[in-house]
């Protein structure tokens, strides 16, 4: 059986994602789609709108065959670390193709750019550091350094979010998994950052869907843009837990962090550097909302996304020393299986004996410091939920076995 890997967040799963899954299988002639999905918190430092389990069900009912969790140590990170972790998991699962959407859509351009970067790595790293010192954000500095070092106009536009991620996927493949073949296609319809729902088309950005849910407080406005399975999971989650997660719901908990940690403790938190904690402390005492707080802290150098990741690490109390130690390992320490279709189960049965990384289906059977962070993330994620449902959600981390889905009957199988 041939598999294709996709790296996803599904926040929430929409028609654009469904198209992406279909194209991934079609363009790579694959039988099975393996999704490496962020868990409780996402690459931009935001909480997922619903739990990993609800999003796994959305994925399985829309063509994905295996869903594995991207561990926290990779998920809430800059693009390079995020991509390296995802590629490592796909490689461990014997996946030989990776498919991603991009603004460019030409895999040859991605490969040329990755090779050019590899040849000029030392110079690019030096230029990037210089431009960060000049006040540029890291993404802007890296893009400017690359353009300055390479001098080629026909290479990739690294100012686009999906091009950036795609470049790092291809670079990770070049460096660690040369037997894996990357594929890409142009993102259709809505742009990644579009905040408004489109007119006369079904594909909307996840950003616009989340914004509409927040503003309207109901599912009616987003119904045309979401598959039935997604709508059902959103309804069920909201009915069970009383909310859809937003960054704002964690503002009081973030204030608690600043009120209970001294400056030395704040400095020890991962990604907190250059005295930014002082600016953050001052801002949070004056802000009445999370959005106001971030707007007071944001600078040209410290982007909204970078600050959101810092705040998530603060909520998690992740220390620099612990994260750096965990990232020393160049391959994923485990594969956390969240769900599978019948076809996905067949694929895992075929490759299971070849795996050189533990496949974790029950937390009681495996332990690792990185997995401890995943468990902590699920507990922090549950904080805005009222009891007793908060306890129910945190216990799901231990009680929920991988979700099994029968794609022929469209039924989830009892365990």
CA distance 315 to 380: 7
Supply the DSSP symbol for 269.
B
Q: Is 16 annotated to bind ligand? A: yes
Q: Would the annotation count 187 as a binding residue?
A: yes
What are the structure tokens assigned to 109, written together?
A: 């351009």
Ligand-binding annotation for 7, yes or no, is yes
Give counts: helices (H), strands (E), the chain. Answer: 19, 9
| 182 bridge partner residues | 98
Question: Rounded CA gap, 139 and 128, in Å?
Answer: 9
DSSP state of 346: H
Long-range contact set of residues 254-262: C-beta below 8 Å, sequence gap at least 24: 254/284, 254/290, 254/293, 254/311, 254/314, 254/315, 255/284, 257/314, 257/315, 257/317, 258/284, 258/314, 261/314, 261/317
* Residue 19 labelled as part of a binding site: yes
Q: Tell whether 11 is in a known binding site.
A: yes
Q: Is 251 annotated as a binding residue?
A: no
Is 188 a known ligand-binding residue?
A: yes
Asked if residue 250 belongs to a known ligand binding site, the reply is no
User: What does the DSSP 8-state code read for residue 189?
Assistant: S
What are the φ/ψ torsions at residue 13 (nearest 5 degrees)? Answer: -70, 125
Question: Is 71 within 8 Å of 332 (Cβ atoms)?
Answer: yes
The secondary structure of residue 250, as a DSSP letter, is: G
Which residue reads 């709508």 in tokens? 231
How far the first Cα of the chain sits from its last, in Å, is 25
Q: Is 9 within any annotated ligand binding site?
A: yes
Does 18 count as an annotated binding residue?
yes
- Cα gap 355→71, rounded to integer Å: 18
Produce one character per residue of 167-195: b if its CB has 16 or more CB atoms within 10 Å, e if not: bbbbbbbbeebeebebbbbebeebeeebe
Does 12 belong to an annotated binding site? yes
Q: Please check whether residue 54 is in contact with residue 393, taking contact to mean a CB–CB distance below 8 angstroms.
A: no
The verdict on whether residue 275 carries a ligand-binding annotation is no
Assess contact for 4 and 99: CB atoms under 8 A.
yes
Considering only CA atoms, which of 121, 153, 148, 120 is closest in space to residue 134?
148
Residue 103 phi/psi, 5-degree rounding, is -75, -30
Is 168 labeled as ligand-binding?
no
Q: Is residue 13 marked as binding?
A: yes
Q: Where is the binding site for ATP, in residues?
A: 7-20, 101, 162, 187-188
Specify binding-site residues: 7-20, 101, 162, 187-188
């Amino acid at each position: 059986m041939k598999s294709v890997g996709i790296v996803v967040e599904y926040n929430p799963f929409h028609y654009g994602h469904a198209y992406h899954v279909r194209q991934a299988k079609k363009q790579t002639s694959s039988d099975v789609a393996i999704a490496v999905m962020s868990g409780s918190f996402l690459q931009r430092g935001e909480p997922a709108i619903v739990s990993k389990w609800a999003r796994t069900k959305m994925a399985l009912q829309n063509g994905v065959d295996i869903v594995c969790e991207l561990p926290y140590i990779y998920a809430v990170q800059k693009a390079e670390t995020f991509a390296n972790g995802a590629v490592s998991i796909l490689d461990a699962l014997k996946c030989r193709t990776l498919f991603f959407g991009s603004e460019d859509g030409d895999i040859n351009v991605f490969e040329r750019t990755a090779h050019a970067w590899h040849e000029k790595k030392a110079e690019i790293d030096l230029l990037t550091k210089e431009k960060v010192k000049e006040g540029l954000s890291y993404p802007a500095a890296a893009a400017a350094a690359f353009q300055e070092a390479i001098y080629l106009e026909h290479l990739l536009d690294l100012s686009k979010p999906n091009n950036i991620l795609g470049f790092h996927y291809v670079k990770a493949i070049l460096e660690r998994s040369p037997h894996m073949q990357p594929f890409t296609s142009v993102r259709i319809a809505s742009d990644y950052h579009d905040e408004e729902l489109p007119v006369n088309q079904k594909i909307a950005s996840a950003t616009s869907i989340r914004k509409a849910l927040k503003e309207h407080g109901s599912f009616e406005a987003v119904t045309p843009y979401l598959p039935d399975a997604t709508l059902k999971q959103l309804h069920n989650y909201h009915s069970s837990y009383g909310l859809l997660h937003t960054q704002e719901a964690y503002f009081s908990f973030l204030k608690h962090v600043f009120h209970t940690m001294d400056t030395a403790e704040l400095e020890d938190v991962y990604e907190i550097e250059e005295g930014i904690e002082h600016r953050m402390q001052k801002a949070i005492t004056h802000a009445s909302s999370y959005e106001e707080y971030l707007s007071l802290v944001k600078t040209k150098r410290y982007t909204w996304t970078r600050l959101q990741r810092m705040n998530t690490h603060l909520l998690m109390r992740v220390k620099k020393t612990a994260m750096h130690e965990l990232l020393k390992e160049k391959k994923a320490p485990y594969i956390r299986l969240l769900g599978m279709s019948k076809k996905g189960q067949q694929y895992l049965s075929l490759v299971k004996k070849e795996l050189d990384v533990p496949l974790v289906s029950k937390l009681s059977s495996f332990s690792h410091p990185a997995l401890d962070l995943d468990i902590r993330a699920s507990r922090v994620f549950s904080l805005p939920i009222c009891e007793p449902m908060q306890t129910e959600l945190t216990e799901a981390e231990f009680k929920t076995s991988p979700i099994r889905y029968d794609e022929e009957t469209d039924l989830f199988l009892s365990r």
